[in-house]
Amino acid sequence: MKTPLRSSLAAFIALYSATLAAQPSTELGIPKPVYGDDEILPRIVGGIPSRFSERSYQVSLQSGTSHFCGGALIGKDWVLTAAHCVDNGAPPPSVLTGTHLKNSGGQRFESAQVIIHPDYRRAPEGYDVALLKLTGTPDLSLERLQLADNAVMGAVANPGNTVTISGWGRFAVGGDKPDNLYEVDVPLVSNETCSLSYPGKINDSMICAGLEEGGKDSCVGDSGGPMVADYQGQTYSIGIVSWGAGCAEPNYYGVYARTQHIADWVRQYVPVTGGSSSSSSSSSGGSGCTGDAYVVGGSYLNGGVVHHHDIHYRCLVKGWCASTATWAYEPGAGTYWTNAWELVGACGAGSSSSSSSSSSSSSSSSSSSSSSSSSSSSSSSSSSSSSSSSGGTACVGLAQWDTSTIYTNGDSVQKNGVKYTANWWSQNDDPETNSGMWQVWSNNGSCL
């Protein structure tokens, strides 16, 4: 297997020139990461058109109406993409969701916030991951990807296992750009094998895929898009299109950000399932119950497992299973959407080994609200120290909601004598206008 050095100067110049011609202007905010002296191509070659029903999580990052990178829906209103797509100082991108046509259909949202992994420097150095918080909520019928935990990775992410990559990228360097979403299946390769193509460049935050003989790969415009694998009926994010030399060239594999490696970081901001190596036991369940107990007001992602009356259930709704007084998704109950939950088995029966999954279980119990672990919540000491003066006995110790404070899942606040508990990461989301089903806050009632 040859090294990344080109066999001849002429071949290098031809490829480099074609690459530059293929890239849109950086004035549009389209990144052009570099590896050594070669252009790193945010690289689908050798693929087939995707079916919308199978890839509804796919999104297009756009500058104006021009596609430049891909991404995937995770959580209610978040997108997982590559950091190099959004690290160039350009305005936050628009995000087109719910369509396989990159220029029409679907819903368009702006990026309210861009969060880049703190260990990211440039794509070939790893941690090429970013999160986009959208200004609205894409159609909840669209699939949201889950993050593969250790058990899933052990089952589907071994060298030789096939994964799927999708995007609107070019068919070749300097080639045509498709209007429809395409996908390609490629085998994973070990990091050791991948290092032979990119000596000294592959680390644990990366995962590689491709054919030694080339012919199948991602290409220009696919950056940030998802690498996925199916496991027990669910689709999991395995990687994010990051970098590589050329498109589908022999002996040069595609390099992807390994989502397993950054799952815990993602979960600081987004209520997604997966991302940890084990399930935690719930104190409220019977013997053998794992994961979170089902609670009224909780929101649970597709594939999430809860326990209710000492029985495990898995959410089957594409998007979220939730429960309110008027829209009940109670497991085992003959109410709305009786098919929303799949019976997994009795607690202790050994049938609930999957990681747990209330992605944002908003319990009204005092135990969750009293243990705010957000460092930024503690930074608002001025507001919390005076909180008890404006509320009744039940309000004592509850911080007043503050527009500048960052809150995470389980943090509780009060506003105008009402207690609210955060369902996921939040900043500047007024609980009075952002509480209820699918909302950032749960209204726990008066604390006067």
The number of CA neighbours under 13 Å toward the Cβ of 390 is 16
User: Which band of pLDDT confidence, cut at 50, 70 and 90, is reported for residue 388?
Assistant: very low
Active-site residue, from 223, 237, 242, 412: 223
For 225-255, what is each residue's pLDDT tens digit? 999 999 988 899 999 999 887 655 667 888 9
DSSP calls for 102-132: TTSSSEEEEEEEEEE-TT-SSGGGS---EEE
CB 357 within 8 A of CB 273: yes
Q: Does residue 151 have a pLDDT over 80?
A: yes
Spatial distance between the Cα atoms of 202 and 206, rounded to a whole number of angstroms: 7
Q: Does residue 294 have a pLDDT over 70?
A: yes
Spatial distance between the Cα atoms of 153 and 230, rounded to a whole number of angstroms: 11
Class of domain 57-134: mainly beta
DSSP 31: -
CB 380 within 8 A of CB 402: yes
Phi-psi region for residue 76, left (φ > 0), alpha (ψ -120 to 50) or beta? alpha
Active site residue 117: no
Residue 337 pLDDT: 45
Q: Which of 134, 147, 170, 133 is nearest to 46 (CA)?
A: 170
Active site residue 128: yes
Q: pTM of this prediction?
A: 0.54
Active-site residue, from 38, 77, 84, 308: 84
Could you tell me the CA-to-CA distances from 36 to 5, 129, 201, 240, 286 in Å, in that order?
9, 21, 10, 21, 57
Residue 11 pLDDT: 35
Listed range (198-202, 237-241, 287-291) with the worst mean pLDDT:
287-291
Task: Give me the mean pLDDT over the 35-54 stretch.
Answer: 55
Class of domain 36-46+146-263: mainly beta
Judged by DSSP in three states, 411 sits in coil
Spatial distance between the Cα atoms of 347 and 364, rounded to a whole number of angstroms: 23
Q: Does residue 8 have a pLDDT over 50?
A: no
Class of domain 280-361: mainly beta
User: Which band of pLDDT confidence, cut at 50, 70 and 90, is reported for residue 391?
Assistant: very low
Active-site residue, from 128, 217, 292, 402: 128
Among 6-15, 48-57, 253-262, top mean pLDDT goes to: 253-262
Residue matched to tokens 């991108």: 93
Residue 200 pLDDT: 92
Task: Give me the mean pLDDT over the 264-280 stretch.
Answer: 62
Listed range (4-13, 126-135, 227-236) with the worst mean pLDDT:
4-13
Q: Which of 360, 231, 259 is nearest to 304 (CA)?
A: 360
CB 147 within 8 A of CB 273: yes
Of the two residues 39 and 153, the one the predictor is more confident about is 153
CB 167 within 8 A of CB 218: yes
CB 29 within 8 A of CB 88: yes
Domain ranges in the chain are 36-46+146-263, 57-134, 280-361, 366-446
Averaged pLDDT of the chain: 70
Spatial distance between the Cα atoms of 220 and 235, rounded to a whole number of angstroms: 24
Could you tell me the CA-to-CA distances from 78 to 2, 127, 188, 266 in Å, in that order?
40, 18, 27, 10
366-446: CATH number: 2.10.10.20
Of the two residues 367 and 153, the one the predictor is more confident about is 153
CB 272 within 8 A of CB 79: no
Spatial distance between the Cα atoms of 386 and 321, rounded to a whole number of angstroms: 37
Active site residue 217: no
Examine domains 57-134 and 366-446 and report if their fold is the same.
no
User: Which band of pLDDT confidence, cut at 50, 70 and 90, is reported for residue 426?
Assistant: confident
The dihedral through the CA atoms of 87, 93, 99, 101 has a sign that is negative
Residue 380 pLDDT: 35
